[in-house]
Each structure stands twice: as C-alpha cells, then as structure tokens.
Amino acid sequence: MGKIAFVFPGQGSQSIGMGLSLYQENERAQQIFRTADEKLDLPLSELIFNGTQQELTVTYNAQPALLTTSYALVSALEEAGIKADYTAGHSLGEYTALVAAGAISFEDAVYTVRKRGEFMEAAVPNGQGSMAAVLGMDREALAEVTSEISAAGESVQLANINCPGQIVISGTAEGVKLASAKAKGNGAKRALPLEVSGPFHSELMKPAAEKLQGVLEEVTIQQAAIPVISNVTAKPITEPVEIKGKLIEQLYSPVLWEDSVRTLLDLGVDTFIEVGPGKVLGGLIKKIDRSVQIHSVSDLETLTKTVETLKEAQA
C-alpha cells in the first residue's frame, strides 16, 4: 500500500448538524467540542448542531466550526489506528492539517481561526469585494486577464487554483465582474459568482494578514511531526518559522490546491482521506488524478466504513 494523506476542507463546506453523530458516540469528540466552546467563550457547539445555516456561514463562525468538526473526525480516525504520512488543507483547512500534524495545539488554532475570520470579515466592507469561479480556462490565460484588469485600476487576482479548468478569482466587486466578462470573451466556459462575504486570497486581504501576524506571534508553533503541504508553495513544510510565515502569506496568496495534490502524488500518496463535512476536495482530487483511492470521512457512518476498508487493505 502506498502513502496516506489526510486532506481538510475549507470554508463553504459547513452545514448544520455536522459532527453531531460522532459527538453523540465519541468521548474524545465531546471533549474537543467542549474545548472549543470554552476557548472561544461562546456556544459554538450549539451553533454547529442547532443553529441556522446563515449564522454558521458567517466567516468568523464557519472557520472555528469547520476546524472543530474536522479535528474531532481526524482524532477519531487516529483513535482507530489510521495514521497519515502527510496532511494538507484548503485555505482554512490548512489549520486543521497543522493541528493534525502536531504543529499547533487545537486550542491555539481554534482561537486563531476565529480571529482570522474576524479580520477577513473586517478587511473589506461587505459588498465591495467578491469572488467568482472561472471554468474552462487555463491559469496562464486567466492570469493575463486579471493582470490587465488590475493594471487598469480594479484589483483582481487568481485566488484558488483548484483543478484543471476550475480557478477562483478574487478582488474588488468591479474587478471580478470585469475579469469574468473578459475571461468569457477569451474562451472561458463560465464564470460563476460565489456566495462569499469578501475577496479572500487577494491583495485586499493584506490588512487582515497584518492583524493575523499579531495573533500568530502569541501562538506556539512546533516542528510538525509529519509534513504539511503549504497552500502558498505547494511544498512540504515542517519548520515553525516557515509555517508561521506561510500562514500569514496564505491570506493574500492563491491557494495552489492542484499543485499541492500533484506534490502529494509525487511523494507516493495513493490514498486520500477527506476529513470533514462535504466532498469538495475529493471531487477536485478526482479531476486531477482518477487512479487514486479517495475516502470521505464526514460523520460516524463514513468514519466506520473508511476504517473498515483501510484495515482490510492493510491486512
């Protein structure tokens, strides 16, 4: 059997009730959700299990909620004896990847991402920034489009390079609108506006990155026990200083997801376990390489099934 990577979803995968089936059956999961409530001094678990989707989707709620749920699931996987050789996460998911790799404590991470969400929300007034998914255009051609629009005065750039033919752009509302139109004029199949509260992973997030730096200065980052693939470079990182620097850069740099998956493939990973709600990353990985094993662990049922399948493969 080849190597295993745990991959963790980012914002957009949240849903009410996520993690509940595990919480009801697993003591360690209960402890993790309680720790999040105590550290943030707010009823996060109550919001996750019984809140409204609208409230859960607010950036500073979605980020700690996803981290907590994904971490509870990955802890249960590890309890069952499933270990990863590498971890990676999409944007916010990188924090879960770092906790799973032992680089940041869960308490520090949940506090940091709550703050990260607040800073991202505050960086650009609502409605002034936006993001759109551009389908059917390669990154060089799209980068040319965004550079031209930015040079003409409306900031816009590549934000998430997800898989071949799916790239998210981010910037001012006008910049994204102009770039979307121009991309379609230059051969893109579609440009779909995303339901987000701000222009994430764009230059407009630099004020948020400065504030995040202040929070990360207070956080202890340790040597990662297993390599984490960085969103910013798509390369493995383990060193505390580098991890901190990349988390700050990550806010205004593109998420190199496609490149990160290719790095993992080059490192011999043939089994990807998406840990957390939804199946977004599994879908993207399939578009990058159809031959790999992909498991989704989003609740108690999928957790049990994945553990059984992997144990059989290892037997």
Supply the residues annotated as catalytic.
Answer: 91, 201
Residue type, 79: E
- Say if CB 211 and CB 119 are below 8 A apart: yes
* Structure token digits, residue 163: 């898989």
Dihedral of the CA atoms 89, 28, 108, 84 (nearest 10)? -30
**In angstroms, rounded to a whole number, what is the distance separating the alpha carbons of residues 92 and 112?**
11
3-state secondary structure the chain: CCEEEEEECCCCCCCCCCCHHHHHHCHHHHHHHHHHHHHHCCCHHHHHHHCCHHHHHCHHHHHHHHHHHHHHHHHHHHHCCCCCCEEEECCCHHHHHHHHCCCCCHHHHHHHHHHHHHHHHHHCCCCCEEEEEEECCCHHHHHHHHHHHHHCCCCEEEEEEEECCEEEEEEEHHHHHHHHHHHHHCCCCEEEECCCCCCCCCHHHHHHHHHHHHHHHCCCCCCCCCCEECCCCCCEECCHHHHHHHHHHHCCCCECHHHHHHHHHHCCEEEEEEECCCCHHHHHHHHHCCCCEEEEECCHHHHHHHHHHHHHHHC
If we measure between CA atoms, which residue out of 14, 60, 103 comes closest to residue 197? Answer: 60
